Amino acid sequence: MTDLTVLARAELTRPDLPYRKFAFWAGFAMLSWAIVAFLYVPLGTVLSAAFYREGSVTTETIARLAGARNVRSALWNTFWMAGATVITVNIVGLFQVMVLEFVKVRGAGILKIAYATPLVFGSVTAITGYNFVYGDSGAVTELLTRFFPGMNRDWFHGWVAVLIAHSFLMTHYHFLFLRAAIRRVDFATVEAARSLGASPISALFKVVLPVVRPTIFAVSLLVLLSALTSLAAPAILGGREFRMLNQMIMGLNSVRRQDMAALLALLLGLISLIVFLGLRWIERRQTYFGGAKTPIPMQKVVLKNRLSNAAVHIIAWVLFVIYATPVVFTILFSFAPSRSIATDVLPSSLTLDNYISVLTAQQTLEPLVNSTVMSVMAIAVVLCLALFAGRLIAKSKSLLTGVVEFSLFIPWVLPSSLVAIGLILAYDAPSPWIFGNVLLGSYAIMPIAYGILIVPMMVRLIGAAMVGIDPSLEDAAQSLGAGPLTRFLRVTMPLLAPVLILVSALAFNDLVNEYTVSAFLYNPNNKPLGVAIAGFAVSNDPETLAKGLVYATLVMSVSFVIIMLADKLGLGRAPISVV
């Protein structure tokens, strides 16, 4: 190439410089607007609803709340249930991890599949399944009454049911994070302990678990957070006598006592914030695993003591039954004729009728379509924002980008109910922030809320992937004449593509399983899957129940495919951090 063509190329690229500048500032303006309008304005509105009345600060709402007996009891229920859940989940979760990673147990491969089910069978879907299997007309209850004719058919009810559901459904943090941590423990330390006379089990308790204690703490805090903000479990299983905080917030909101709802949501937000800060603190203090140059990978030990070996096997397989039963029965009965549902222990025959009736009737198809469309809308918009923000954060370190980064992580700490209350209070009347529109009751309110929920996860993962791309690749493209847009489209995007697909899939999984925000914000135009499933779950009509089972099975299948995809693409093998 002659110098002349170099010059010509230089001249040709000149004119689009102002255009690049314009595109950047347009993107930045959109991002800032979204942050202010959908994050800070709703938060500010919640604060003022809780503490301001007629232009002055008031503590009246606090007093009123403190005086309400049902609020006090919901608070008390929430706290003790969260505490109890942390204990029971740790017992179940630690045992699972021991069986999967530390002790040789027969059939560990099958056990692992059962223990992994909370990853795909969670939230409202799982609660529906539990209610269906253990409820008063459930298959297990049916079976039990054949052995114990005098028993109370309605045993799966109230706090017992909520605690049982929590205990077995919230173990997925243990499954993901604690297992990963234990695998990084140097097995030589176990052998050292045993050479000093410790039995395998005592080596586990004296050496392995203390090493991973920070992870156990962190996982416990995540469980605490989930239990505190639990909604589907108490709503479906708790009944009248056992209500938790999120239900209270929803109830107060529906009777237009929004000052009180706002205050309770803030309280929940404050607790979440404290828990979150605790997590950060743990993560920063987390010690690195050993100093050994060549750590020996964790190995499974054989329990020589027959008694303890038998005990471990029995408990492991009982857990298997507990985990597998709701999943298997939910899937099985989704193929059962409706007369068989709620009467038989096993389906009398298998048929596709339920699926055909769900997928062909407008009314039952709608929640499926709604959830899909709204999730895709939210993901598409957040994807663009995350790409823009990720690039901004990766390329420049200024106060402004710091503020953007911080803002986009805020929703991580916010309980879903606080996000929902914020949107409701800020946009229940025409607002200049959204150009004079009203969100409450509109179709858009759900996709917007969904977007807020997935922003932190998507920005974090996409941002990390962007930082991971070798900067000299872009330099190389630039030295070959590629401008910023070409570089982005031809180099960065193709390299990011797997991550983008993966992150979008994970977000989709979260959103089709979403219940809390949906329950607050949905209206007849955009009723999502989670709400529809919960509605069917409490029905006594076998036809309706069948539809719920079909939904649940469909959602489970989607989750299953997405989780497998994530595992294939290696997200499971990446060093996992809890926060």
Instruction: List residues binding another protein (CB under 8 A).
Output: 1, 3, 5-7, 9-10, 13, 470, 472-473, 475-483, 486, 490-491, 494-495
**Rounded to the nearest whole angstrom, what is the least distance from the CB of residue 394 to another protein in the complex?**
16
Smaller CB separation from another protein, 8 or 564: 8
Helix (H) or strand (E) run with residue 56 in it: strand 56-57
Q: Minimum distance between the CB of residue 485 and another protein, rounded to whole angstroms?
A: 11
In the complex with another protein, the residue whose CB is nearer, 7 or 576, is: 7
- Apex 19 CA angle, 14 and 23, nearest 5: 140
The number of beta carbons lying within 10 Å of the beta carbon of residue 542 is: 17
- Please, what is the minimum distance in Å from the beta carbon of residue 572 to another protein? 22
| Smallest distance from another protein to CB 497, Å | 8
**114 contacts: CB under 8 Å, gap ≥ 6:** 319, 320, 323, 324
Contact present, 545 and 357 (Cβ < 8 Å): no
Residue 85 burial (10 A CB sphere; 0-12, 13-18, 19+) = buried
The nearest distance, CB 498 to another protein, in angstroms, is: 10
User: Which C-beta is closer to another protein: that of 255 or that of 480?
Assistant: 480
Minimum Å distance from CB 567 to another protein? 22
* Minimal distance, residue 16 CB to another protein, in Å: 12
Strands 52-53 and 56-57, by their bridges, are: antiparallel
**Tokens (6 digits) for 380:** 């598409």
| Residues whose CB is less than 8 angstroms from the CB of residue 32 and which lie 6 or more positions away in sequence, other chains included | 404
Q: How far is the CB of 470 from another protein (least distance, A)?
A: 6
Q: Is the dihedral of CA 18, 23, 24, 28 positive or negative?
A: positive
CA distance 526 to 519: 11
Nearest to another protein of 213, 490 (CB atom):
490
Alpha-carbon distance of 305 to 200, in angstroms, equals 10
Q: How far is the CB of 24 from another protein (least distance, A)?
A: 16
347 or 484: CB nearest another protein:
484
* Of 6 and 292, CB closest to another protein: 6
Tell which residue, 389, 348, 373, 301, has the closest CA to residue 108.
301
Comparing CB distances to another protein, the nearer of 343 and 486 is 486
529-537 vs 542-568: helix crossing angle, rounded to 10: 140
The CA–CA distances, whole Å, from 398 to 20, 333, 387, 404 equal 20, 57, 18, 10
- CB of 329 within 8 A of CB of 134? no
Amino acid 107 reads G
In this complex, which beta carbon is closest to another protein, that of residue 369 or of residue 493?
Answer: 493
How far, in Å, CA of 126 to CA of 555, rounded? Answer: 10
Nearer to another protein, 72 or 568 (CB): 568
**C-alpha span between 32 and 223 (Å, rounded):** 33
- Between residues 13 and 202, which has the closer beta carbon with respect to another protein? 13
Contact 509, 559 (CB under 8 A): yes
Q: How far is the CB of 207 from another protein (least distance, A)?
A: 40
Q: How far apart are CA 75 and CA 69, in angstroms?
A: 10
